[in-house]
Amino acid sequence: MNDTLNQLLSLHCENEIAEFKEAKNSYAFDKIGKYFSALCNEANLKHLKRAWLVFGVKDNQTVVGSQFRTNAKDLQSLKKEIADKTTSRLTFVDIHEVDHPNGRVLLFEIPAAPHGLPIAWDGHYYGRDGESLGPLNLEEIERIRAQNRAIDWSAVVLPSASVNDLSPEAIEIARENFIQKNPKLAIEAKQWDVSTFLNKAKLTVNGQITRTAILLLGKAEASHFLNPASATVTWILKDRDGLERDYQHFGCPLLLSVDEVFHKVRNLKYRYMKEGTLFPEEVDQYDPYIIREALNNAIAHQDYELGGKVSVVEFEDGRLCFSNLGQFIPGSVESVIQADAPESRYRNRFLTDAMVNLNMIDTIGSGIRKMFLIQKKRYFPLPEYELKDNRVQVTITGRVVDIAYARKLAEYPDLTLEDILLLDRVQKRKPLTDDQAKHLKALGLIEGRKPNFHISAQVADHSGERAQYIRNRAFDDQHYKQMIIEYLEKFGTAKRVDINRLLLDKLPDVLDATQKDNKVKNLLQALKQEGVIEPDGKSWRMSKKP
């Protein structure tokens, strides 16, 4: 391995597939994992077989030696430790020890990520930009994943499958849905034989059964044609504490299973608080369109090559969570809502086209936007997307969470969906960028300082939430300092717990418990620095200094 070390030392500098670390005595295990993920992925993108992490060498390629895990058994155990937290349990090809004149050098030989499989460390993908370590961007993740996708997974023909592996009931329902979607073809569609219909609906290719046909129309026992992919939707009911109360699995044919899952969801009635005539008195918790759209989207965009299930988790506190495996290809939900147009590409194009033909989904790009508009019209929180760990999760809330926020929407019907998206973030105590905050402030919708924004006086006045506005608005620091001073002048001393009792319930509601605690601490330290008060053991008193 001396030749390999010399070649690495001759590099002009570190790059995407070579990283040097001194690691004289130790090195953080988590950092090794992150570099493993990054170097794996970069080697793949550069069409190389391997990458190298080198211990005992400075960034300038000067050998200094390393005492990292000098025990051979401990060193080799690192392979399993890394495998335990990587995709598909990938680990080092080998760990080489080289005796250099300047000290011991370790060469960690890292394999390139397999074609089509980016490697994550502890659920996160890493990459390199020159010498810098950072997240692997979405475009690079998809470049790796697309390496095995010259053929659409959902369009693959299954030579050993036949029409006999499809459910007759599902085929008839599919024909009815096709006619509903294409009313101009109603007369002739009723006369097509099964083979012709399946071709016309783009479920088969020249009469040959595809994975899409099995997924949507296949008999339960035909799901083995899709192995190792799973054609399963799991419904789970959880109580208010998040404990599982009930569950059920649904498999092929998914065309029928979608309807079964829909009816499994306990879509209870929600009664609004009767305040004036702004709100209807009673509605279903979840609009039927939203349930079907979210579920069908999860099926259409699931990455079946990962072998996971689509899940629908119903919480008794009025939430539905739909999730599927795979990156969110458009990149962000905001971009989809703003574009309101078809995506340029889909993970399962053949499956998507078939689901359109069967009236299950619509590829015009307005499905997500329509979900947001429905929630807005009901004054419910907007759908909340979580895009991480190679998974897409959308949470639908079937109730009013903040009556003040609901009344704002009712009083300001002309707000754009983009503005409502931002106000929804304020309601959920989520951060705003400087530009977003500036925009809402310009409209007079929010007040406060980053990150503790709250509704403005203007909106509070319209919504009848004047009292909440006052509770959210902070007094200036001098007001709180004067309260501390008056307390000490009257009672002589005060412990921190006394100061907390004095101030905590008077601080703005927009601050959480930790922020309120820090606020009191900062006020006390400011008074101390100003020479107004001083510590007396574990108490505070007025300063005796002149």
DSSP H helical ranges for 60-162: 72-76, 78-83, 138-145
**237 DSSP β-pair partners:** 246, 314
Residue 21 phi/psi, 5-degree rounding, is -135, 140
Predicted local confidence at residue 462, as pLDDT: 46
Q: What is the DSSP code (8-state) at residue 536?
A: E
251: closest CA among 227, 219, 225, 228? 219
When pLDDT is averaged across residues 443-453 and rounded to a whole number, the result is 75
- What per-residue confidence (pLDDT) applies to 339? 61
**H helix or E strand, kind and range, residue 532:** none
Q: List the Cα angle 38/42/48 in 5-degree steps.
A: 135
* pLDDT confidence of residue 250: 97
Residues 6+ apart with CB under 8 A from 302: 308, 310, 324, 325, 326, 347, 348
Look at residues 57, 112, 125 and name the one whose alpha carbon lies nearest to residue 388.
Answer: 125
pLDDT of 465 strictly over 50: no
Compute the distance between CA of residue 100 and CA of residue 65 in angstroms, rounded to an integer: 8
> Lowest mean pLDDT: which of 39-48, 269-278, 466-475, 535-544?
466-475
Q: Which amino acid is at 507?
A: L
Residue 460 has pLDDT above 70, yes or no: no
Among the residue ranges 163-167, 186-190, 273-277, 284-288, the one predicted with the least confidence is 273-277
Residue scoring higher pLDDT (173 or 473): 173
Beta strand spans in 192-335 (E): 204-205, 208-209, 233-238, 244-250, 269-271, 282-284, 310-315, 319-325
**Per-residue confidence (pLDDT) for residue 281, from 0 to 100:** 72
pLDDT of residue 404: 63
Q: What is the mean pLDDT of the chain?
A: 86
For residue 546, name the pLDDT band (cuts at 50, 70, 90).
low
Q: Which residues pair with 57 in a beta bridge?
A: 63
How far is it, in rounded angstroms, from Cα 411 to Cα 459?
A: 9
At 184-211, the pLDDT tens digits run 999 999 999 999 999 999 999 999 999 9
pLDDT for 215: 98
**What is the spatial distance between Cα 484 and Cα 498, in angstroms, rounded to a whole number?**
10
CATH, range 477-542: 1.10.10.10
Q: At residue 405, does pLDDT exceed 80?
A: no
Around 5, how many Cα atoms within 13 Å sit in the side-chain half-sphere? 23
Q: Is 482's pLDDT higher than 80? A: yes
Dihedral Cα 372, 378, 380, 383, nearest 10 deg: -20
User: Over the stretch 106-116, which tens digit does the pLDDT of each residue have?
Assistant: 999 999 998 77
Helix (H, G, I), strand (E, B) or coil at 296: helix
C-alpha distances out from residue 86 to 35, 38, 51, Å: 12, 11, 16
DSSP 448-501: EETTEEEE-HHHHHHHT-HHHHHHHSPPPHHHHHHHHHHHHHHHSEEEHHHHHH
CATH 1.10.10.10 in the chain is located at 477-542
Q: Is the dihedral of CA 17, 22, 24, 28 positive or negative?
A: negative
pLDDT over 50 at 508, yes or no:
yes
Q: What is the CATH number of domain 233-397?
A: 3.30.565.60
Find out whether 79 and 86 touch, Cβ atoms under 8 Å: no
Compute the average pLDDT of residues 79-106.
Answer: 92
Confidence band of 163 (pLDDT split at 50, 70, 90):
very high
HEC states along 343-404? CCCCCCHHHHHHHHHCCCCCCCCCHHHHHHHHHHHHCCCCCEEEEECCEEEEEEECCCCCHH
Q: Is 392 within 8 Å of 326 (Cβ atoms)?
A: yes
Q: What residue ranges of the chain are covered by domains with CATH 3.30.950.30? A: 2-148
Q: How far is CA 514 from CA 83, 504, 521, 538, in A?
A: 38, 11, 11, 21
The pLDDT score that the predictor gives to residue 306 is 87
Comparing C-alpha atoms, which of 36, 148, 47 is closest to residue 87?
36
Q: 2-148 is classed in which CATH architecture?
A: 2-Layer Sandwich (3.30)
Residue 66 φ then ψ, to 5°: -140, 140
Instruction: Calculate mean pLDDT across residues 355-370.
Output: 81
| Integer CA distances (angstroms), 64 to 24, 67, 229, 383, in order | 8, 10, 49, 54
**251 — pLDDT class (breaks 50, 70, 90):** very high
SS3 content of the chain, % helix, strand, coil (to 5): 45, 20, 35
pLDDT at 479 over 60: yes
Residue 459 has pLDDT above 50, yes or no: no
Cβ(236)–Cβ(311) under 8 Å? yes
